[in-house]
Structure 1
Amino acid sequence: MAGQTLYDKLWNSHVVSQRDDGSCLIYIDRHLLHEVTSPQAFAGLELANRAPWRLSANIATPDHNVPTVKKERSKGVIGIKDEISRLQVLTLDENCAKFDIAEFTINDGRQGIVHVVGPEQGLVLPGMTVVCGDSHTATHGALGCLAHGIGTSEVEHVLATQCLVQQKSKNMQIRVNGQLGEGVTAKDVVMAIIAKIGTAGGTGYAIEFAGQVFEEMSMEGRMTVCNMAIEAGARVGMIAVDQTTIDYVKDRPYAPKGEQWEQAVAYWRTLYSDDDAVFDAVIEIDGSQIAPQVSWGTSPEMVVDVTDRVPTPQMAQDETQQEGWLRAYEYMGLQAGQPVTDIKLDRVFIGSCTNSRIEDLRSAAAVIKGRKVADTVKEAIVVAGSGQVKQQAEAEGLDKLFIEAGFEWREPGCSMCLAMNADKLEPKEHCASTSNRNFEGRQGNGGRTHLVSPAMAAAAALAGHFVDVREF
C-alpha cells in the first residue's frame, strides 16, 4: 500500500463518517470567527434555539471593518464611522457575549487580522482542522494543518455541530528547490507559482508546498505562501511540520504545556508526506530563477518580474487570455509592452493577512531606513496584522523608521486589503500593495492594485514608481 500524503493523514484522522457518494463528515478542531460572515450564522442558531457544540473550539476577533486611524480607533466600536461596518462589529460583540464565545475585541491588545492572531496565539496548532468564514484561512496550513475557508451557512453548521460535510480534494505537490536570490521573498515565490500555474491551476487540489526553499523558509514566510494558495485556485495550502514549525509554536499562549507539549510534539513530527506517497500532480520550480515580482493586471496570475515589461497581446496563450489582458490594460491604465518600472504610484499599502507580520515589517523597514517617501506618493501606510505585532515593532523602533520616512503608522486590521473599511483607493489610483488580490475594485471602486512584497512596496514608496529592490 502506498504511503500517505500530509493531506491524506490530516483528512483521514478527522473523518467522522463517509457517505456512499464519497462525501465525508469532518470534525473541526478550531473555528475562527470575524464580524463579516458570522452575523447570519449566529442568527440561525438563535432561530433554531441551538447552542454552539463546543465553546472552546471557537475564537473571534473583528478585523475587516475596524478603523486603523488612531483617533477613530481609540473610541472603540462607536468610532467606526460607516453605519454598516459599525453594526457588524457591534453584532459580533453582542453574539460572542450572548453565546459565551471568547473574543479579542476592537481594542484588546490581542486583536488583529484573524489569520495573524490564530497562529501567534497558538490557537492554531499542527494537525488541526481549521475553518473560518474567509477564503484566506488557507494561511494556517503553514503549520501543517488542514485549513480552509467556509461560507456563512457552513459557519452556522460548524458552530452547531463542530463538523462539516466535505468532498476530498486531489493531491498536488509544488516543489521549489534551489537558493532564493537576495531580495527575493516568500511573496515573490508564491506570486511566481501563480504566474506559472494560473489562478485555476490548483482547482480541485489540496496543495502541499515542498522542497529546499520552503524547508529553509521562516514560519512567517510559509504563512504568506499558504495564504495565497487560494489565489492559485486551491482551497487548501500546507507545509509539512519540521523543527521550524515546532519552535514557532512553543510557548504560545494557547499552546500545550508540560507533558501535553511533549505528547503533541511526538504526534506533530509524523505530519509530513511519506516518501512513497503518490500525488495526483507535481509541479517543480527552480527557486534560483525567481526574481522580485509585480502584478500588472487584474488577476493574481497577471504577474511579471520587476525587470520585465507589461506583456503584449501577442504573448497570450489563447484568445480568452488575450481578451482578459486587453480588459486589464484598459482598467489598469497601462500600455502593452511598457516597462514595469515606468508604473507610477499614488499610494503604498504594507499590511493584510498576507504580509503584516513582524518579519514583513522588518524587511520593509530595512529598505526605507534613512530615506524618504517620494513627494509624488499621496499616501503610504503600514498596518500591523495584530496588536502584538504592532507592539513588537514599536519595541524594535520600526514605527519610528516608518514615520521618519513619511509613512503613516496605523492600528491593526485588514485595512486597505479590501474596500470594506475607511482605507480605500480613489478611482484610477495605482497602489503598490502587499495584499493578496488585485481584482477590479478590490481596494476601492476604480482602484488599481499591484501586488508586491513588503520590501518591494517600501522601495516603490521611496522612488514613486516600481524599482528592483535588489538595487537597494
Structure 2
Amino acid sequence: MTDTKNAQTLYDRLWSDHVVARGQQGRDLLYIDRHILHEVSTPQSFELLRENHLEVRRPETQLAVPDHAVPTRDRGAGIREELARRQVALLEANCRAFGIEYIPLTDERQGIVHVIAPEQGFTIPGITIVCGDSHTATHGAFGALAFGIGASECGTQMATQCLWQTRAKTMRVTFTGALPAHVTTKDMILALIGRIGASGGSGYALEFAGEAVRAASMEARMTLCNMAIEAGSRVGLVAPDDTTIAYLDGRPRAPQGRSWDQAVAHWRTLRSDDEAFEREVEIDAAALAPQVTYGTSPDQVIGVDETVPEASRHTMDYMGLNVGQPLAGLPVDYAFIGSCTNSRIEDLRAAAALIRGRTVAPGVTAMVVPGSTMVKRQAEAEGLDKLFTAAGFEWHEAGCSLCVAMNGDRVPEGKRSISTSNRNFEGRQGAGARTHLASPAMVCAAALAGRIVDVRKEHVS
C-alpha cells in the first residue's frame, strides 16, 4: 500500500516532472514540451516575438494548422470571408518567418488542432502540451498534461519553452459499471457536468477512471477530456494503458524502434495512487440515459426521457422552452455532427449506423463535418459519405464549422440546432441560435426524425 504522505496523482507526477523553478503561492515555472497553433489565437503571439526581438526557441516542438475560421464547403473557391482569409494567410506567413511547421488547407493532414495532433502522434503520454484554445484538455486522454493558454502565453512559450502556472487540486471522477447500449462518453461527460455544475471542477485537475473509462476507445476518451473545461477544469486526464499504446503505435511522430520501447516502458509508470486525490466523484455509468442540454450552459442537461426543470426566465425565453416540457419530440431545424468533441471516425460510424435507408426529415439542415482530412478520407473509403449524402446530409471538408459560427456555417436566429459540439452558449452557433448538445447518434436520430428522440428507441440492433 502506498504511503499516503507520499501518494501522488498522475497530475502530480506530470507536474513535478516538468517543474523548472518553484515559485510562490503554488505557482511553478513549467517546461512545455509541445505547442499546437491555429489562426485565431496566435496573431498577437507572433507580434510579441517581433516587438521583443525574440526567436522561437525550439521550432520543432511547434505545429500549426488553420481550423477555426476556414470554410468547410466550396473550399476550392478559396476563403471568401476577408477576416478569415487574412487570419489564415497571417498564420502561414508567421510560421514561415519563424521556422514553424505549417499544415495548409490542401494538406491531407489538415483538420482541427485537437484531432490532428493525436492522429500525427504529436500528442503522447507524459508530456506537457498547450494551445491557444480551451479545449486543449482533449489531449489529456493520452496521459499528457494539456491545457489551453492565452495569446501572450503562446508567445512566451514559443520564446522560452516555459510558462508560469498555478498548481491545481485533484479530483478523480470514477464511472462505475458498463455503459448501456447507445449511451456514450459524450453522455458521461454531460452527466458529470450536470452533476457538479459548470464551475464544479474549477481549481481542480480531473482524472477519469472506472470500468466505463477503461473500456472506452481513444476517440471516446478524447471526447471525455475535451469537455473537462465545461465543468470548470482546465485539465482532464486518463492514465495511459494498452488502448493508448495501440492507438499511438506507428503514428508518424510517435517514437520509433528502441525509443518506442523505452517510451512505452515509461508510459506504463504513469499512474495515480488511490489515496492521493483531494476530491472523489462517482457516477454509475450503467444507469445513464442519453443526455441532451436544454439551456444555455452545458450543465443545463437532462436525460432525453426527462422533462425540462426550472431555469431562469431568460434561459427559457431564449431557448423557447417551458418548465415541465419534454425534450423528446421537440422539433429541430439543424443537426450538426462535428467539432473537436465528436468528429472522429468512430463518431461518424455511430451516426451512419442509424441511417439504414432513411432520409433527413423535411425542413432539417443536417451536416457532417469530419475533424480532419484523414478522418474524411477514411470515412469515404468506408462509404460513409455516400450513406450520409444519400440520406440528405451535407458532407463537408474538415474544420471547426458550426461549432464556432465564424467560418460561413451558422444557425439563423431563432432556429433550433442539435449538435455534437461542446458549447451551447447564447450565440455560439449564430446570433440567436438555440443549441442542444448531444451525442453523434442522438444528433443523427434527430435529423432523421425532425425532432429530438431517444436513440435507444430509434436504434435497431
User: Does TM, normalized by the shorter one, top 0.5?
Assistant: yes
In the TM superposition, what are the counterparts of 1:19-58 in structure 2 within 5 Å? 19-58=23-62
In the TM superposition, what are the counterparts of 1:142-161 in structure 2 within 5 Å? 142-161=141-160
Given the alignment, which residue of 410, 418, 433 partners 1:432? 418
Within 2, Cα distance between the matches of 1:185 and 1:105? Answer: 33
**Deviation of residue 376 (structure 1)?**
2.6
Aligned-partner SS, 2:14: helix
Bigger drift between 368-377 and 183-192 goes to 368-377
Within 1, Cα distance between the matches of 2:399 and 2:279? Answer: 36
Within 2, Cα distance between the matches of 1:218 and 1:459? Answer: 22
Contact 1:9 1:271 in 2 (8 A): yes
Within the alignment, does 1:333 sit opposite 2:320 as a pair?
yes
Partner of 1:316: none
**Deviation of residue 2 (structure 1)?**
2.8
Within 2, Cα distance between the matches of 1:194 and 1:352? Answer: 19
Contact 1:369 1:405 in 2 (8 A): no
Within the alignment, does 1:396 sit opposite 2:395 as a pair?
no
Amino acid at match of 2:395: W
Within the alignment, does 1:367 sit opposite 2:354 as a pair?
yes
Partner of 1:407: 393
Within 2, Cα distance between the matches of 1:14 and 1:160? Answer: 17
Within the alignment, does 1:281 sit opposite 2:279 as a pair?
yes
Partner of 2:428: 442
Partner of 2:170: 171
Aligned-partner SS, 1:462: helix
In the TM superposition, what are the counterparts of 1:9-408 in structure 2 within 5 Å? 9-69=13-73, 71=74, 73-75=75-77, 79-275=78-274, 277-311=275-309, 313=310, 322=311, 325-377=312-364, 379-408=365-394
Within 1, Cα distance between the matches of 2:273 and 2:306? Answer: 39
Amino acid at match of 1:421: N
**Deviation of residue 326 (structure 1)?**
2.0
Partner of 1:467: 453
Amino acid at match of 1:143: F
**Deviation of residue 356 (structure 1)?**
0.2
Aligned-partner SS, 1:229: helix
Contact 1:171 1:279 in 2 (8 A): yes
**Deviation of residue 49 (structure 1)?**
1.2
Partner of 1:318: none
Partner of 1:319: none
Amino acid at match of 2:239: A
Within 1, Cα distance between the matches of 2:336 and 2:193? Answer: 21
Amino acid at match of 2:444: A
Within 1, Cα distance between the matches of 2:390 and 2:353? Answer: 13
Contact 1:16 1:27 in 2 (8 A): yes
Bigger drift between 41-50 and 352-361 goes to 41-50
Contact 1:293 1:303 in 2 (8 A): yes
Partner of 1:454: 440
Instruction: State, as a whole percentage, how many aligned pairs show the same letter.
Output: 57
Aligned-partner SS, 2:71: coil
Aligned-partner SS, 1:26: strand
Aligned-partner SS, 2:88: helix
Aligned-partner SS, 1:175: strand
Within 2, Cα distance between the matches of 1:431 and 1:31? Answer: 33
Q: Which runs of 4+ in 1 moved over 6 A?
A: none
Aligned-partner SS, 2:130: strand
Contact 1:74 1:107 in 2 (8 A): no
Partner of 1:418: 404
Contact 1:416 1:423 in 2 (8 A): yes
Amino acid at match of 1:93: E
Contact 1:352 1:435 in 2 (8 A): yes
Gaps of 5+ in 2: none
Within 1, Cα distance between the matches of 2:326 and 2:54? Answer: 58
CA RMSD of aligned residues (A): 0.8
Amino acid at match of 2:38: H
Within 1, Cα distance between the matches of 2:401 and 2:336? Answer: 9
Within 2, Cα distance between the matches of 1:234 and 1:192? Answer: 15
Within 2, Cα distance between the matches of 1:288 and 1:332? Answer: 30
CA deviation digits over 1:417-450, x for unaligned, max 9? 0121100010001001000000000000000110
Within 1, Cα distance between the matches of 2:214 and 2:282? Answer: 15
CA deviation digits over 1:74-99, x for unaligned, max 9? 24xxx111111111001001001111
Aligned-partner SS, 2:178: coil
Within 1, Cα distance between the matches of 2:24 and 2:340? Answer: 38
Aligned-partner SS, 1:282: strand
Aligned-partner SS, 2:195: helix
TM score, norm. by length of structure 2: 0.97
CA deviation digits over 1:391-419, x for unaligned, max 9? 00000000000001100000000000012
Aligned-partner SS, 2:323: coil
Aligned-partner SS, 2:137: helix
Aligned-partner SS, 2:435: strand
**Deviation of residue 55 (structure 1)?**
0.6
Within 2, Cα distance between the matches of 1:268 and 1:306? Answer: 39
CA deviation digits over 1:358-378, x for unaligned, max 9? 00000000011311000131x
**Deviation of residue 385 (structure 1)?**
0.2
Within 1, Cα distance between the matches of 2:185 and 2:439? Answer: 8
The alignment covers a number of residue pairs equal to 454
Contact 1:141 1:236 in 2 (8 A): yes
**Deviation of residue 21 (structure 1)?**
3.1
Amino acid at match of 2:357: G
